[in-house]
């Protein structure tokens, strides 16, 4: 998918994206000093679409698995047309894949300082979400410690 570049994406309309859920921002349970997490769940809304992301760090290395799903807010069971999914770092396409008929996708990523997850939609629109190294660094493999 080399034809997808930052320049190609510049002419597209970016839908306003709102973060609805971020498990890294949820409060700790009573009696827990710190959260040991190897995964993070992020849910975004862009107009009538939900972008559901789960990031899981590989405990043996620097890589992470990014699993996502794009769903129609009005009818989440309605099949979604296959779409390209791109992970960009500046003008470089780091990883590209596509959604299946359920809007699901998966990619293995190596965290970089600045990354953008981009889903070009029909009609010259796109959904773009920033993923930075801090998103990945919040994933730790230490267990929760009771107080």
Can you give the residue range of the structural domain that contains 53? 6-24+34-137
What is the reported pLDDT for 31? 55
In a domain, 86, yes or no: yes
Q: What secondary structure does DSSP assign to 31-53, as a single string?
A: TBSS---SEEEEEEEETTEEEEE
Report the CATH number at residue 38.
2.60.40
Q: What is the pLDDT of residue 36?
A: 52
Q: Read off the pLDDT of residues 49-64 as tens digits, 9 standing for 90 and up.
A: 999 999 988 777 788 8
Domain membership flag for residue 45: yes
Q: Which residues, 6 or more positions from 17, have their beta carbon under 8 angstroms from its beta carbon? A: 44, 45, 46, 51, 127, 128, 129
Q: Is residue 44 part of a domain?
A: yes
pLDDT given at position 6: 64
Q: Could you tell me if residue 92 is inside a domain?
A: yes
Domain contains 142: no
Q: What is the pLDDT of residue 50?
A: 94
Domain count, the chain: 1
- Please identify every stretch of the chain with a pLDDT value under 70, giving residue numbers as ranges: 1-8, 25-37, 132-147
Model pTM above 0.85: no
Residue 1 belongs to some domain of the structure: no
Adjacent-strand bridge partners of 21:
43
pLDDT of residue 2: 43
Residue 127 burial (10 A CB sphere; 0-12, 13-18, 19+): buried
Per-residue pLDDT, 17 = 95
């Amino acid at each position: 998918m080399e034809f997808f570049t930052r320049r190609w994406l510049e002419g597209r309309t970016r839908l306003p994206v709102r973060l609805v859920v971020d498990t890294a921002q949820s409060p700790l349970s009573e009696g827990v000093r710190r959260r040991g997490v190897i995964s993070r769940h992020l849910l975004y809304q862009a107009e009538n679409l939900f972008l559901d992301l789960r990031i899981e760090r590989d405990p043996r290395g620097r890589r992470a698995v990014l699993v996502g799903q794009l769903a129609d807010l009005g009818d989440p069971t309605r099949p979604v047309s296959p779409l390209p999914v791109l992970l960009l770092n500046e003008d470089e396409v780091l990883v590209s894949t596509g959604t299946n008929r359920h809007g699901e996708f998966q990619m293995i990523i190596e965290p970089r300082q600045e990354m953008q997850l981009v889903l070009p939609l029909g009609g010259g629109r796109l959904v773009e979400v920033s993923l930075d190294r801090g998103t990945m660094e919040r994933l730790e493999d230490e267990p929760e410690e009771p107080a």
